[in-house]
Amino acid sequence: MPIIETQAIHKIYPNGVHANDDINFSVEQGEIHALVGENGAGKSTLMKLLYGLEQPSSGRIFIRGDEVLIENPQDAIERGIGMVHQNFMLVDSFTVAQNIILNRETKNGPQIDFAQAQAHTEALAAEYGLAVNPRARIADIPVGMRQRVEILKALYRGAEILILDEPTAVLTPSETQDLFAAIRNLVEGGKTVIFITHKLKEVIEISDRVTVMRDARQVGTVNTAETNERELARMMVGREVFMQVDRAAVTRGDAVLSVRDLTYADASGHQLLKQVSFTVYQREILGIAGVEGNGQTELAEVLTGLRPPTTGEAFISQQQILGQGPRSVRERQVAHIPEDRLTNGVALSSSIADNLIIDRYYREPFTRRGLLDIKSIVNNGIELIREFNIIAPDGTIPVNALSGGNMQKVVVARELSSAPKLLIAAQPTRGVDIGAIEFIHQELVDQRTGGLAILLISADLQEVMKLSDRIMVMYEGEIVGIFPNDSSLTEERIGYYMLGAERQPQAEMERYA
């Protein structure tokens, strides 16, 4: 008997979007069940129905054969269902242990018993190999640990069925391996895991069975051992996906961004960028390879005016840009795809159309003679929604009613349509499906061929290698190598630099910088 099963589930959102259309989804006790499908296919919606965050429009849900009504997450938790969301839901100013016990506090008299909470957290963490520091504040811990906190929080509440909505989208490859080890521990301990991802390689690696959704429907459920990435891709997209980019050789032009001896230290004095110097030219993509957390984020944020540098210089077409704030950087025709779309990328309650002009509404054609030109804002929305295949009924929809990957497409569409000279793209394809990755990759390369200078930051080494003309490796805040991306450069070789095991001789670095 399945541990959880849906029968003829439909979900129609109040705005008329039919997000789940006759879903008969079934998961066996103790399995790792992957759920895949394009952006907007209805995966998160189905999971929200199981977790009580949304109500089905019709259909039935069974747990161990008993029909259940899951009216809210409280109900779901009582029935042993836990969920870790695509967008984390932790309280930043609280500690790890506080977050884990939130609303589940054991009282010691009128006081909350933190000692017990910490002990309990540590025991759970040790049992499943989910390393966290119970005393650290959420705001201060890396994203991989935040995720482990979310998982522990669900386990603390007694989850038997754990739903993980795109857990690996924000993880480095080695964090992903740690997560997979934890998932295997969970399943060995009798838990059941439902796992959403866009990375088909992960599906093959970790799951027992996989369900594919497309356009709100269930295409099928197959045993992982009897399928492969290519077949899954075809089931998802309904066509063959090649994931190849056409990167014609071009001669690079003038220097666009020149960075000289840039350093950055955080409030507690840690040197996160050390003497960073490099140049990005017209008609080239300079990719940064590196394990996340080696200064890439800080570099992008300093260059886009979100953080002040400590020392050093950066010029765009000979003009100094540092320390002047984001708007002034934008005015120099710098576009930025931020790594965290929810914090820096979109205004969640504003419409898609408004989000697409949020950086340029005060200019023509969106403002004329001091007045907003609604028609041109609407038309711009319609055009970009079509071009970037943003799945939405129309541009008036608030961004928070979009699926995760479609939010990302809004950010990418806005930035690529801003006619930039320089694009700083951090994790540009995070959370988007394979068809959209193919499109965004080609778009980045085409704009580069058309003259754009791109600084690409990605945790995905294959993405960096596929797109870049030159590759620069960062390790502990320093550049440890810069290479032309030719056939002599292999993933393995870059790997040594990423781990700090190798360092390019200074003279060679200067030649390619």
Ligand X SMILES: Nc1ncnc2c1ncn2[C@@H]1O[C@H](COP(=O)(O)OP(=O)(O)OP(=O)(O)O)[C@@H](O)[C@H]1O
Residues 24, 211: contact at Cβ < 8 Å? Answer: no
Q: How far is the CB of 49 from Mg ion (least distance, A)?
A: 13
SS3 73: helix
The distance from CA 19 to its chain's CA centroid, rounded to whole angstroms, is 22
Total of chain residues touching Mg ion, rule CB under 5 A: 3
Q: Using the rule CB under 6 A, is 351 a contact of ligand X?
A: no
Instruction: State which residue, 39 or 207, has the beta carbon closest to ligand X.
Output: 39
Among residues 134, 404, 428, 481, which is the contact residue for Mg ion, using CB under 5 A?
A: 404
Instruction: State which residue, 46 or 141, has the beta carbon closest to ligand X.
Output: 46
**CA R_g for the chain:** 24
Q: Single out the segment in contact with Mg ion by CB under 5 A; choices: 87-95, 361-369, 387-395, 404-412.
A: 404-412
Instruction: State which residue, 288 or 407, has the beta carbon closest to ligand X.
Output: 407
Among residues 44, 147, 176, 380, which is the contact residue for ligand X, using CB under 6 A?
A: 44
Q: Using the rule CB under 6 A, is 183 a contact of ligand X?
A: no
Q: Using the rule CB under 6 A, is 15 a contact of ligand X?
A: yes
Among residues 25, 37, 77, 416, which is the contact residue for ligand X, using CB under 6 A?
A: 37
Total of chain residues touching ligand X, rule CB under 6 A: 20
Among residues 6, 20, 44, 294, which is the contact residue for Mg ion, using CB under 5 A?
A: 44
The DSSP-derived string for 175-214 is HHHHHHHHHHHHHHTT-EEEEE-S-HHHHHHH-SEEEEEE
Q: Using the rule CB under 6 A, is 41 a contact of ligand X?
A: yes
Among residues 3, 4, 19, 96, which is the contact residue for ligand X, using CB under 6 A?
A: 19
From residue 195, give the alpha-carbon distance in Å to each of 161, 162, 192, 200, 437: 11, 8, 10, 12, 20
Residues 399, 355: contact at Cβ < 8 Å? Answer: yes
Which residues inside 373-412 make contact with ligand X, applying CB under 6 A?
Answer: 391-392, 401-406
257 binds, among Mg ion, ligand X, none (CB under 5 to 8 A by kind): none
What is the C-alpha separation between 15 and 24, in angstroms, rounded? 24
Among 147, 21, 3, which Cα is nearest to 86's?
147
The token duo for 391 is 């799945």
Instruction: State which residue, 220 or 325, has the beta carbon closest to ligand X.
Output: 220
Beta strand residue intervals within 373-436, DSSP E: 422-426
Q: How far is the CB of 185 from ligand X (least distance, A)?
A: 26
Q: Using the rule CB under 6 A, is 39 a contact of ligand X?
A: yes
User: Which residues partner with 285 through β-bridges?
Assistant: 454
What is the C-alpha separation between 392 and 399, in angstroms, rounded? 9
Instruction: State which residue, 40 or 290, has the beta carbon closest to ligand X.
Output: 40
User: Which residues partner with 371 through β-bridges?
Assistant: 368
User: Which residues partner with 398 through β-bridges?
Assistant: 351
33 binds, among Mg ion, ligand X, none (CB under 5 to 8 A by kind): none
Q: How far is the CB of 411 from ligand X (least distance, A)?
A: 13
Q: How far is the CB of 41 from Mg ion (least distance, A)?
A: 8
13 binds, among Mg ion, ligand X, none (CB under 5 to 8 A by kind): ligand X
Burial letters 110-147, b for 16+ CB under 10 A, else e: eeeebeebbebbeebbeebebebbbeeebeebebbbbb
Please give the residue ranges that form the binding site for Mg ion (CB under 5 A): 44, 403-404
Q: Residues in the site for ligand X, rule: CB under 6 A?
A: 13, 15, 17, 19, 37, 39-45, 391-392, 401-406
